[in-house]
Structure 1
Amino acid sequence: MWRTWVKPYVCALVAVGVVFQLWCVGWIALYGMGVKPYTAFMKAEQVRLLITKFQPSLERQWVDYNDMSDNLKRAVVTSEDAGFVEHDGVDWNAIEQARLRNEKKGKIIAGGSTISMQLTKNLFLSSNRSYLRKAEEIGMTYIMEVMLPKERILEIYLNSVEWGEGVFGAQAAAEHYFKGGSAAKLSPQQAAKLAVMLPAPKYYDLNRKSPRIGRRANVILKRMGAAQIPDDEGA
């Protein structure tokens, strides 16, 4: 008997999931044609700031890929996803390592996300950690990797990732942390410092003199020269 009344709800949930996936695919196609995204994370942060601080807008300004410092591209790839150019969007070794860490801690503390997976989450999903959301993230990431070149993925990521409270994208970050800063002219040191902040941007925004920033930035600086980034014709 219970199957009779449960089945319609299950079908409805599946239908909603399919519609959501198709909606996401449609937006990815638009991003491939040059549309500049306003991500789910941006919308959530704008609502939060409006409610808590009566701040109606975010700090953000789009910068084209070729107008962005290669120092920043290399620093972010070094810090967040060294295999960005080679993999197909998902690093299963990193996911397995994250799973083992989560099991050891008894809770989800790591996700093993690549840059592409982080972008998928920022564009369409929430910050809530669960294995269901991770599955959605992986599925949509594979679709995005098929539809968009690596250059476009990195361009969107660097223009939409959070770099502080209400601060989104490389240009806003350059202006926020370096007086008169420009995403096109970031030095290797400045780029490395910004890359360090990505895992916890709000914390580092409030703790800019944290010793960890300097230590981690030095590590990134030493490795940046070997980082591979998409060329001007895409990867």
Structure 2
Amino acid sequence: MNQPPVPYADGRLHARPDVLRLMDHQRQPPLEAGTHQLSFGDGRKALLHVPPDANAEGRRLHLLLLLHGAGGRHGGGDHIALGHAVRHGALLLVPDAQDSSWDFLRGGFGADLAFIDRTLLWTMQRYEVDEQAMAIAGFSDGASYALSVGLMNGHLFSDILAFSPGFMAPLRREGLPRIFVSHGKDDRVLPVARGAAIAQRLAQEGYEVAYQEFDGAHIVSPAIARAALHRLEE
């Protein structure tokens, strides 16, 4: 007997700002400026930072989707990026994985990608997101997931920021998002050679890639976070 297809198994995200803009009846009241913990009916959680003046008429916001490392849950390198995103005036969306890490690392795209799509839609229903300025970022396992999802959804994300990735495994490719990869020279969790090899391969495949190594271990350094986010402004 044929099994029904697993939702999101193809790695495709469906939320789009331009589609929501044509469906005013689906608009929802926005949250005030600040950092908010979002809790959904099924127990899933995400964090959303809303910059000042996010609801100013005619303003379209940059959006940064940030994916934590294994066991992260908004911790570690996420807080560094959060601090810089606050100063850069972007929406920052940080969903939690269902388990300790992301679904594809446990067998295939599915529940976590569906939740990411859900949180993107929730955000787009409340804010004017600039469809030309959406980025996906991650640290460690989150970086591997961001690379995989971002390459498959390159018409949605203009940029991919991968801090200390271990691998990438997109099921297909679309678009040509810009890619930033960084890796610590003293990383003993995921050796620096992995990040270097990923950056080299993507550059050979025709992507615009910026690669930075730094003196440090398995972390996101403040200087690297600044460099990555500065790239988004260019």
State whether TM-score is above 0.5: no
TM bucket (normalised to shorter chain) is under 0.3
TM-score by length of 1: 0.27
Higher helix fraction (1 or 2): 1
Higher strand fraction (1 or 2): 2
Tell me which of the two structures has the higher relative contact order, counting C-alpha pairs closer than 8 angstroms and 6 or more residues apart.
1
Larger radius of gyration: 1
